[in-house]
Amino acid sequence: MSEGIKKLRKDLKILEAMAAEMDDYLRNESMFWPLSDSSMPRLTLGGYLMRQHRLSLLQGLFDEKEQVRLNRAIDTYHEALVEKVVRFEQHAHDELHVRLRQWSEYLRELNQEPDAAGSYYASAVETRVMIAALLEKLEMPPYQSDERVLDELGVYDRALKNHWLSDGFLWPGEWQPAYPPLTYWWLYGRLRSSSGS
């Protein structure tokens, strides 16, 4: 089994755990919610939406039982959102600001130490993917996005392009259909080294 499929199966388990605790999460003030299984990442809306996005688009890679599990987890998530539009939107905006700050800090580090920061770009860019997932959700009714966030993100994307060389897909090849290159250009390439190559 390929590494990409293994990671998707792990994502499915994480998604199920996050969906199961989403109702409690949305009733709480905590942005980084510790899941009952402490071996899993903390529940955030960005983490959930990032996984739901790719799992939904790549579910053809799963067997029938796994597809049923995925659909059940997504149904559980939607049930948790009932009558919590305001809570969801507040959580999403709060997390978006935190993720933007994390991304700007990474880009600052990239300016200061391009080789060191560039060495872990493939994992750091997960923050940028979560930002995209949160923005996509907030652009759907009944939610509202914030134009200032889009402006700020535009500044960061232009800064990244100063370091960027278009190239192959950074993540497992099986995931590529979930991330079209025009939208997710920052997953298709590599960072210039400090020597300029």
Contact 155, 67 (CB under 8 A): no
Integer-rounded Cα radius of gyration of the chain: 17
What is the Cα–Cα distance from 109 to 16, expressed in whole angstroms?
A: 34
pLDDT in the model for residue 37: 93
Name the amino acid, one letter, at 80.
Answer: A
Q: Is the pTM of this model over 0.75?
A: yes
- Per domain, the residue ranges of the chain are 3-85, 87-191
| pLDDT of 182 | 95
DSSP tag of 33:
B
Q: Residue 82 has what pLDDT?
A: 92
**H/E segment holding residue 102:** helix 85-112
Please identify which residue in the block is written with the tokens 């025009």: 182
Q: What residues contact 115, with CB distance under 8 A and at least 6 apart?
A: 193, 194
Non-local CB neighbours of 167 within 8 Å, separated by 6+ positions = 188, 189, 190
Model pLDDT for residues 82-97, shown as the tens digit of each residue: 999 999 999 999 999 9
Q: What are phi and psi of 169, to 5 degrees?
A: -75, 135
Question: What's the N-to-C CA distance of the chain in angstroms?
Answer: 34
Cα 113 to Cα 115: distance, rounded to the nearest angstrom: 6
Which residues of the chain are modeled with pLDDT < 70? 194-197
Tokens 């930002």 — which residue? 131
Is-contact 60 91, C-beta < 8 A? no
* Per-residue confidence (pLDDT) for residue 194, from 0 to 100: 55
